[in-house]
Structure 1
Amino acid sequence: MTIQILLKIGAVGILVALLNQILKHSGKEEHAYLLNLAGLIIVLSWVIPYISDLFNEIMDIVNIGQ
C-alpha cells in the first residue's frame, strides 16, 4: 500500500466532512446522508483490491506451511 491511497482517503474524508456540515446547516440532512454513503462507497472501491491482495498473500503463506 502506498502513501498515495492514504492521502486520497484523507482528502475524501475531509471533503465529505466539510460538505456534510454545510448540508446539515442548510437543512438538507437527506443529502448529507447520501453524501456520506457516496464517500464510503468511493473509499471502499479503492480499498477492496488491497484487502483482496492481503487475503491472497495470507492464503499463500498458509499453503507454504502445509
Structure 2
Amino acid sequence: MDIDLIFKIAGTGIIVAVLNLVLKRAEREEQAMMTTLAGIIVVLVVIIDEIGDLFEKVKSVFGLW
C-alpha cells in the first residue's frame, strides 16, 4: 500500500478543516462550504486516478488487453 496516498488525503483534509474553521469564524459560510466541496473533489480525483491505475494492473495481470 502506498503511504503517500494516505498522507495526501490526510493533508488535504487537515488543510480543508483549518480553512473551513477560519472561514466560519469570519462568518463566511458560503466560502467555507465551497472550500469543503473543493477538498472533496480534490480527494475524489486522487482516488479515481488510483482506481484507474488498479484496473490497469488487473488487466495486465490477467492479460485482458
Shorter-chain TM-score category? 0.7 to 0.9
Query: Quick one: percent identity of the two aligned structures?
Result: 43
What is the match of residue 49 of structure 1? 49
Instruction: Structure 1: give runs of 5+ residues left out of the alignment.
Output: 61-66
TM-score, length-scaled by structure 1:
0.76
Instruction: Structure 2: give runs of 5+ residues left out of the alignment.
Output: 61-65
CA RMSD of aligned residues (A): 2.1
What is the match of residue 5 of structure 1? 5
Which structure is richer in relative contact order (CA contacts within 8 A, separation 6 or more)?
Answer: 1
Displacement over 3 Å in runs of 4+: 52-60
Corresponding pairs, count: 64
What is the match of residue 63 of structure 2? none
TM-score, length-scaled by structure 2:
0.77
Q: Distance in 2 between matches of 1:9 and 1:50?
A: 12
In the alignment, does 2:35 pair up with 1:35?
A: yes
